[in-house]
Structures are given as C-alpha cells and as structure tokens.
Amino acid sequence: MNRRLKTLLIKTKRQVFSEMIGNNPSLFHGEGYDFSELREYQVGDDIRKIDWTITAKLQKPYVKIFHEERELNVVAACMAGGSLFFGTHRIKHDVVTETAAILGYSAVKNGDLFTGAVVGDTVEQIERPTKRIFGVNRFVERVDGLNLLGRHSDYIGGIRSLFDRIKRKSMLFVIGDFLTDVDLALLSRRHEVIAVIVRDRFEEHPVPLGQVHLVDPESGRTLQTSFGERSVRKYRARVIENDKNLYRHLNRHRIRFVKIYTDEDPFGKLVKLFGGRV
C-alpha cells in the first residue's frame, strides 16, 4: 500500500470513527427497528428520539429506545471507466476511492456487512461481505490500484450484471461520474439505491482552450481540434441534456443521489445526504 493511500485511509478512518460520536453514531442505520422501551433522557441521547407527548405529561424528557431487526448489507459499486482519470483539483478516481472507504468504514462501525464491487462492462471484481476493517482496506486498495485507461464503465449492461450478482436486499451505492446513459430501474426494484455522482467542475463549466490535442481515456482515440466558444457551448448543451435525463431517471425511480466535486470533502457531502446523521 503506497503512502498516499495510507494517508487517505487514516484520514477517512479518523472521520468515521472519531467524528461519528454523541448524537450521531452512524452514517446509516439498519433496515427496520422494533420499539423496545421508554426511558428518561440521558446526556448523549439522540434528541430526535424524544417522545414529546410523554415528556409533556411527565415534565421530564423521555426517549424511545429501539433495537434493530436486521443488519444492513452495504454495497459500494465503483464504476471503473477511463473517464475517472480526469480532474483539475484531484482526479475523480481518488474521490471514488475515498467514498468507498467512507462507506466501508461506516458499515463496519455500525456492525453491518460491507460488499465492494468494481463494475465496467460487467462486474469485474466483487469482494465477499465483511465486517472487518481489513476487508474494507483490501477492497479500497484494489479500487485505488485500478488501471482505468482503456476501460469502459457501462451503466446499463454493467448494472444489469450487478443485479445478477447481488442477491440480498442491500443499501447499494453506485459511485461514478454518470456521464453516459444510465438505467438503475431494475436495481432499484430489489435494493435501496443511492447514486454518488463524482464530477470535476471543469467538466460542467469548461472554458475555451484554443487549439488542443484531446485523448479519449476509454477508447484511446485522439483528436486535434480547436476548443473555442462555439465548442464550449455545444459541449455544455450535451452535459446539460445528459444531466436532465439522469435526474429525471433518478427521480422517477425514487433514487437518492449526491454530487461530489473533486474539490469537495466526500465525508461532508455524505453526511449531508443522510440529514446530518453521521
């Protein structure tokens, strides 16, 4: 494991295990809860669990205590395409790697099962479900070490392959840049799907560059062209149309999503996605 990845894992582990304290014990919770008992409020309890009716009657704060019915199976599906090999602040690949680590450590901390998958045209790698930090580290190291150039991420065929491989109902995070046609409908019928959209701001708001030599990181094809004002407008229109279709699709199938730019902290964005419940 290289020094850069070790530093990232130390930072991420500290965020998950040190900052998830007090009223915010975990990034996500189990699928279901049974009511267990009422007890008087204690310092450190989640104030959202206060039963205000009983509190008003007894003139003392009381909280509802629940126990989880089932553990979660948390799946991080990393879409491994050459387009992730791009970034102005840092490359998108690094953000995907860090996001997978956050999800893995959060699952372990919560006592849930974590499964990691690498998806291209099909499911290329899939880790056995684990509750151990070692298992999370192993998957994250594999994601970080991927050679993305020449790879294609297929959000239709690859996702269909993922559906065939993940049988158990899961909280399934699809992590990628979503810059192509997407179909998560089938996946959302069995799982709770969350789309983590990783982008660089330059991809959405490019500036004229003049004469440039471009290389497609997925196909390897090259193009010598002038990227001026007209080219910028045409490119922006295609990105806007792609994202309109994407958001329409996600909303239609009630799939939550979060967009993380390469200059942002993935941990903070995921915390916000789950309503501050870290």
| pLDDT tens digits, one per residue of 217-257 | 887 888 888 888 999 999 999 999 999 999 999 999 999 99
Q: Is the domain of 79 the same as that of 42? A: no
Q: What is the pTM of this model?
A: 0.81
Vertex 215, ends 79 and 144: CA angle to 5°?
A: 35
With cut-offs at 50, 70 and 90, classify the pLDDT of residue 186: very high
Q: Is the domain of 98 the same as that of 212? A: yes
State residue 253's pLDDT score.
Answer: 94
Q: Is the domain of 91 the same as that of 192? A: yes
Q: Is the domain of 145 the same as that of 104? A: yes
164-185 tens-digit pLDDT: 999 889 999 999 999 999 999 9
Total number of domains constituting the chain? 2
Distance CA 199, CA 148 (A): 16
User: Is 213 domain-assigned?
Assistant: yes
* CATH assignment of the domain containing 135: 3.40.50.410
User: Is 179 domain-assigned?
Assistant: yes
State residue 139's pLDDT score.
Answer: 96
Distance CA 104, CA 130 (A): 9
Percentage of the chain modeled with pLDDT above 70: 89
User: Is 53 domain-assigned?
Assistant: yes
Q: Which of 45-49, 158-162, 187-191, 209-213 has the lowest mean pLDDT?
A: 45-49
25-72 tens-digit pLDDT: 455 554 445 555 677 887 767 777 788 888 888 888 888 766 554 578
Q: Is the domain of 86 the same as that of 64? A: no
State residue 21's pLDDT score.
Answer: 46
Average pLDDT over residues 186-213: 93
User: Is 122 domain-assigned?
Assistant: yes
Range of the domain at 160: 70-272
Q: Is the domain of 61 the same as that of 160? A: no
User: Is 228 domain-assigned?
Assistant: yes
267-276 tens-digit pLDDT: 999 988 876 5
Cβ neighbours for 261, distance < 8 A, ≥ 6 positions apart: 89, 198, 199, 200, 201
Q: Is the domain of 102 the same as that of 39? A: no
Q: Is the domain of 48 the same as that of 175? A: no
Distance CA 150, CA 224 (A): 19
User: Is 157 domain-assigned?
Assistant: yes
111-165 tens-digit pLDDT: 899 999 999 999 999 999 999 999 999 999 999 999 988 888 899 999 999 999 9
Please say if the pLDDT value at position 22 is more than 50. no
State residue 24's pLDDT score.
Answer: 43
